[in-house]
Amino acid sequence: MSVDKDTVRRIAHLARVQVAEEKLDALAGEMNNILDWVEQLNELDVTDVEPMTSAVETTLHWREDKVTDGNKAEDVLANAPDAEYGFFSVPKVIE
């Protein structure tokens, strides 16, 4: 796959990025280099490679899955302009 000047102009328009006319050729060259590199990656045989979530193998720490309020109600309500009985107090909107 090859990217030309018109394709770069269209991509820039879709991305809402302003690119000067004199930079379109250089940007097309850079995009072609990136696409060539991706094509090289497609040539690799990864059939025996296990999927991984990180470059460093780690074990996640398990915790009990229980619902709590986080014990932060007072901290949260401290940011409220008005609070009553442990809840946000807001003006009445509908009669």
- pLDDT tens digit string along 42-89? 899 989 988 888 888 888 888 888 888 788 888 888 888 898 898 889
pTM here is 0.50
The verdict on residue 27 lying in a domain is yes
Q: Which residue has the higher pLDDT, 54 or 28?
A: 28
The verdict on residue 30 lying in a domain is yes
* Region 1-30 average pLDDT: 94
Measured distance CA(74)–CA(80) in Å, rounded? 10
Buried b (16+ CB within 10 A) or exposed e, 44-82: eeeeeeeeeeeeeeeeeeeeeeeeeeeeeeeeeeeeeee
The verdict on residue 77 lying in a domain is no
Task: Give the pLDDT score at 14.
Answer: 96
The verdict on residue 62 lying in a domain is no
Task: Give the pLDDT score at 50.
Answer: 85
Task: Give the pLDDT score at 21.
Answer: 94
Task: Give the pLDDT score at 35.
Answer: 94
**Termini Cα distance of the chain:** 64
Count how many domains the chain has.
Answer: 1
Measured distance CA(63)–CA(17) in Å, rounded? 45
Q: Which residue has the higher pLDDT, 94 or 32?
A: 32
Structural domain of residue 20, as residue ranges? 5-42
